[in-house]
Amino acid sequence: MFNKRLGIDLGTANSLVYLAGEGVVLNEPTVVAVAQDDNHIVAVGTEAKEMLGRTPGNIVATRPLRDGVIADYLITEALLRYFIQKVCGKSWFFKPEVMICVPAGVTQVERRAVIDATMAAGARIAYLIEEPLAAAIGAKIPIAQASGNMIVDIGGGSTEVAVISLGGIVVNKSTRIAGNKIDEAIAHYMKKKYNLIIGERSAEDVKIGIGTAVNIAKESKMEVRGRDAASGLPRMIEITSKEINEAIMPVLVQIVGVVKEVLEATPPELGADIIDKGIVMAGGTSLLRNMDTLMTKLTGVPCHIAADPLLCVVKGTGVALENIELYKRSISGK
């Protein structure tokens, strides 16, 4: 078959590509390095992420998506073209069908921007699916049934909370508080408590290394390198998981607050279904240690993490593309 079909999860932190019939074939950071003098794209994906915070003055490594939506149209188009060509080759005769997932709260203008960027990047047809639906399909939740299911997708740039029934979203709320804000909270804590300035990559490493949503008896420690805010010289300190929990707790409470708001707005019948089945969590930030425990503790509703939370959205996008007739109510396109 010459006409390939791609499902793309354009995340704020990482982008994944699903090739129909094969599965997930690409997983790279959503970063583009651009030469400022002539707007030439120097590197994309993994290669560009290595440059974050390390580029010479004339090259800027940026994330073209902020908080889950397009912040820079031309760079997003270049990123999509890179992904499409990497998976499909450069043939302009056999353009692929592409389905992209977008946050549930995006405006018509933002939807249009994603479709236009996808078509300009070399797609034959572009479809959009809302992220909570894609995450639910990827988590193997039977979304078509007349029964309430709750999905909480905590990514890098946005958190999507939705109650799904009969193949559609009944109640949803998006917030721009997610993994990035946790990284920012860690960097802010380091500067405030230790006068140490660290970059976003170092903050993310700390989160992955010793971050926890609920303090555990056995404390873990980690060395962090950065720049002393007073002297400007490099310095290294040792921090504990308890300190990181203290740093990130306000952000986590805000995320759980959004989940509570959606639960409060859910019709009683669907609410009863959710208490029976529990909340399903997806997205990279759901892998933060004990995040499910914190969610259960603060909402009073059982909570579990989907299998493969990092791949839920892209797998769901791919499955929807492979079964387009089945999911056509959940899809918009051009």
Q: Which residues are annotated as a binding site for ATP?
A: 12-14, 156-158, 204-207
Binding site per annotation, positions: 12-14, 156-158, 204-207
Q: Specify the DSSP element, H or E, that contains 33.
A: strand 32-35
The Cα 165–Cα 179 span in angstroms is 27
Q: Note whether 107 and 324 are within 8 A (CB).
A: no
Q: Note whether 166 and 269 are within 8 A (CB).
A: no
The Cα 210–Cα 222 span in angstroms is 7
The residue to which tokens 């959205």 are assigned: 313
Tokens of 284: 């990279």
The Cα 174–Cα 159 span in angstroms is 6
The Cα 91–Cα 43 span in angstroms is 21
